[in-house]
Amino acid sequence: MTFNLYGLILGLAILASFQASLWLAKERKVDIKVVEGLFWWVVIGGIVGARLYHVVDKWQEIYSLNPQSAFYIWNGGLGIWGAIIGGIIGLWLGKRFLHYGRNDKGGGRNELLDIVFFGLPLGQAIGRWGNFFNNEIIGKNSEPLFLYESVLNLVLFGILVWIAKRDSSTTVGMTKRGIIAGIYLIGYGLIRFLLEPLRPDSIVWKIGGLPAAQIFSAAALGIGAYLILRKRS
């Protein structure tokens, strides 16, 4: 039952994220075939990255004792920062393998980053309910952190939709490419940074005494700020 629910919810999250990203691609008149061609590269890269993040986190206490269980993804255990890093690597590899360049109708790097990141918070909002059915993401005082993240991700997605719609309502799009990706990174970076102290210490992966999720969140804030503040290109 848990396997079916978790897999179903994960599949729905990926589908919803993809459909949202397709909507933005159509709004920006980006070649849909390019987005569809890169889709599985991003998804596979994201899943591999998410699982690696979790396995490294829990290696000593779980996977060093039973290494083959690292492949049992249906039991839960996906790290969102690993998914983001893996998805970006998948996007980079896909562009090169499929020979998509800046002159294609798929747009440049920042255009594609906007399209990928646009659908992420919607997928995360749905995916967190998979954590609920796997009894994951519960706070140290039994706070429903999965619900907090789900609701906050929906709010973040609403902000991104508002920006995209404002952009498409003008004769010439005014939003600098990379802004949506930057706002996502800042928004989710803040969400995760602020919620991390509520997690039980026993499940928090630390690097140099600091929670790894907060380190990655701080890095996301910096990268997001760069994408927003850099000169229009």
Q: Which amino acid is at 31?
A: D
Phi, psi (degrees; rounded to nearest 5) at 27: -60, -35
Q: Cα 86 to the chain's mean position, in Å?
A: 10
Structure tokens at 180: 């949506």
Alpha-carbon gap, residue 127 to 10, rounded angstroms: 6
**Residue 153: what pLDDT?**
96
When divided into structural domains, the chain yields a total of: 1
Q: What is the pLDDT along the chain (233 residues), one digit of tens a residue?
A: 445 687 788 889 999 999 999 999 998 888 888 888 898 899 999 999 999 998 988 888 888 888 888 888 777 678 888 999 999 999 999 988 876 655 555 567 788 999 999 999 999 999 888 878 777 778 888 889 889 999 999 999 999 999 998 876 554 445 678 899 999 999 999 999 999 999 887 677 788 888 888 999 999 999 999 999 886 54
> Which pLDDT belongs to residue 69?
85
Cα 206 to chain center, whole Å? Answer: 21
